[in-house]
Chain A
């Protein structure tokens, strides 16, 4: 593998006595679209701002394109950033917003014109160039914010929750648009979001953060299929994975997790799992098969039915425990119906009961 384009080495950050980042190490190859995802307060935005040069680095290093940038001013790091609330200059027209950074760099007028035209073409801003930000819709402002990043022709794009102010429909559109833009420009991108759907759908590499640490990083489906920790398992995927605390036992010779109330959940034997261990049993909703035949699995009572169109989400109680299941068939069930649910033992995730690490 080539030398990483961006390398974060042992980055730590604290505000006063609160430690926000506890030693972040991460390497990002060139052209990658990396999504930093995690709940609010996990440190992802702070990390992004450190890369941008908006937060001082007191411990650790940031390398961009082979250069330690700890002391390089934000404007000289070759980055461009799109902010959550766009941070457009409200008193400048779209054209002036796009031109501002180039003007600060004393770029030649013809070059400024060329870059604005290119960015406007890509983002369909030609008609809007003379408007003020206040005269634009949310989606248009979003585009201008991206255009302002684009004209700088940066080595590295940074996005800080750029879609969180848009309504649901527009968010899905812009998601695709940003992704398409990346495929076209191939510029290395770091994108921060708290929305795991954005993380899954947009990224080449997902970095899941929690409480100032990286929980896991890798291609999105790898994280989905093999979450390294209980946190990642719970965070990625919607509806969320079923997670139940219990103890490993043998029931009728087959391995299972006793989650109490007389409920035993089966799993396939695997190395490192011994009888008596405290574990967390994880099963994605789509791996809890629903069968109309009550004899074929665990008997559950339907608590809630959420038809979502092509699939149906079910909440069902088995021995008093709430489970989520998904079926792509149209089910004829109502709250109170009794159905059979069959966990797929080969798809079970087990996590250490105390550390949360994958077993």
Chain B
């Protein structure tokens, strides 16, 4: 057994072309089929929507190129301004309420000692209820006569408002239904964040004499910031494109108080059969989501997916 210092010149082995080929092609065989399906459908839809938004369609769906006319029409329509404004308000109120509730629920679930698994499992149930069913259930809670809310209020001798007939109240009911559906997932994401915090940090902080509130503000919040971001983004997405809940709950009414962009888009395209204008609204929704996503990718996903692959 020796180690030879002067390496003998070896004739190079011919390249194994079959192996090279397999190595080059195999990974693509795995990943490309899905991509084709996803982009064949969803990618086409985006491109198709962009094209549609530049055309006018008649009853028989014949297209005529009209340039940016649809955009001018939509952007100058007071109904659009209303929908835009309602959507932004809906998103902001949903975020405030949704994240607040998620945070409280997550902290609660984190501290529960008995039946933790049960309560965790229970808390996710609304995530599995369809938007339409959520809307229907909330309608029956808030119907004027025979609804749960008014039954309770009248039993207490309180006034029984017409929840879904009043624009402001209906808007709040829509926000509540939306939160009911989206809070569970955000809660569990935040709970996950809380559970990754090493308990020794809390011990050390309490030895340092930090108050409960100080611990929450100075330790818990900064440490769950990434998870906070994820749930924030999620809540924003969901609220921005809420559709089934609103359509089945209020269909945009009363007096367009809950007519969000998605509802407006649906009605424009499928009830008024104005596909051009509908596509313009689709592009508006996409633009908002893309802007959000650039933020999302920058802050969370890039690092995350690199970490995933480089494990």
- B7-A25 in contact (CB<8A): yes
* Interface residue B62 (Cβ < 8 Å from any Cβ of A): no
Which residues of B sit under 8 angstroms from A10, Cβ to Cβ? 7-8, 10
Complex partner residue of A71 from B1, B5, B10, B16, CB under 8 angstroms = B16
Among A4, A59, A60, the residue within 8 A (CB) of B1 is A4
Answer whether residue A101 sits at the interface, using C-beta atoms and an 8 A cutoff.
Answer: no
By a CB distance below 8 angstroms, the chain B residues around A32 are 1
Decide if A29 is an interface residue (CB 8 Å cutoff). yes
* A70 and B13 contact, Cβ closer than 8 Å, known pairs A9-B8, A10-B8, A23-B7: yes
A115 at the interface (CB under 8 A from B): no
B residues near A59, Cβ cutoff 8 Å = 12
Q: Which residues of A contact B3 (CB under 8 A)?
A: 25-26, 207, 214, 216-217
Minimum CB–CB distance from B11 to chain A (whole Å) comes to: 10
Q: Does residue B204 face the partner (Cβ distance < 8 Å to A)?
A: no
Bound form: Cα–Cα A26–B19 in Å: 27
Give the Cβ gap from A232 to chain B, nearest Cβ, in Å.
Answer: 12
Please judge, given known A-B contacts A70-B13, A71-B16, A71-B19, whether A205 and B1 are in contact too, CB under 8 Å.
yes
A90 to chain B, nearest CB (A): 16
Q: What is the chain A residue whose CB lies nearest that of B4?
A: A25
The count of chain A contact residues (Cβ–Cβ below 8 Å) is 23
- Highest count of chain B CB atoms <10 Å: which of A26, A28, A29, A34: A26
Q: How far is the CB of A10 from chain B (nearest CB, A)?
A: 4
- Closest residue of chain B to A61 (Cβ to Cβ) is B10
| A27 interface hit (Cβ, 8 Å) | yes
The number of chain B residues with a CB under 8 A from chain A is 12
What 0/1 pattern do residues 224 to 261 of B give for CB contact below 8 A with A? 00000000000000000000000000000000000000
Q: Which residues of B contact A70 (CB under 8 A)?
A: 13
Contact, CB under 8 Å: A27 / B10: no
State whether A28 and B16 are in contact (beta carbons under 8 Å apart), knowing that A60-B10, A61-B10 are contacts in the complex. Answer: no
Q: Work out how many contacts link A and B, with CB atoms closer than 8 A.
A: 38
Among residues of B, the one whose C-beta sits closest to the C-beta of A26 is B3
A188 to chain B, nearest CB (A): 11
Contacts of A214 in B (CB 8 A): 3
Q: B4 to chain A: which residues have CB within 8 Å? A: 25, 27
Cβ distance B24 to chain A, nearest Cβ, rounded Å: 13
Q: How far is the CA of A102 from the CA of B19 in the complex (A)?
A: 25
In the assembled complex, the Cα of A143 lies from the Cα of B201 at a distance in Å of 38
A185 → B minimal CB distance (Å): 20
Chain A residues lying within 8 Å of B13, measured Cβ to Cβ, are 61, 68, 70-71
CB of B76 closer than 8 Å to a CB of A: no
A262 to chain B, nearest CB (A): 40
Question: Would B2 and A27 count as touching, CB distance under 8 A?
Answer: yes
Query: How many angstroms from the CA of A34 to the CA of B10 in the assembled complex?
Result: 25
Q: How far is the CB of B309 from chain A (nearest CB, A)?
A: 16
Mask, B264-295, CB within 8 Å of A = 1, is 00000000000000000000000000000000
Scan A295-323; emit 1 where CB is below 8 A from any B CB, else 0: 00000000000000000000000000000
Instruction: Given contact pairs A9-B8, A10-B7, A25-B3, enumerate 20 new A-B contacts (beta carbons under 8 Å).
Output: A4-B1, A9-B7, A10-B10, A23-B7, A25-B4, A25-B5, A25-B7, A26-B1, A26-B3, A27-B2, A28-B1, A29-B1, A68-B13, A70-B13, A71-B16, A205-B1, A217-B1, A217-B2, A217-B3, A218-B1
Write the residues of chain B forming the contact surface with A, with a CB cutoff of 8 angstroms. 1-5, 7-8, 10, 12-13, 16, 19
Top-6 shortest CB links A-B: A25-B4, A10-B7, A214-B3, A217-B3, A23-B7, A27-B1
A-B contact pairs, 14 of them (CB 8 A): A9-B7, A9-B10, A10-B10, A23-B7, A25-B3, A25-B7, A26-B3, A27-B2, A27-B4, A28-B1, A32-B1, A71-B13, A214-B3, A217-B1
Residues of A bordering B, CB below 8 Å: 4, 9-10, 23, 25-29, 32, 34, 59-61, 68, 70-71, 205, 207, 214, 216-218
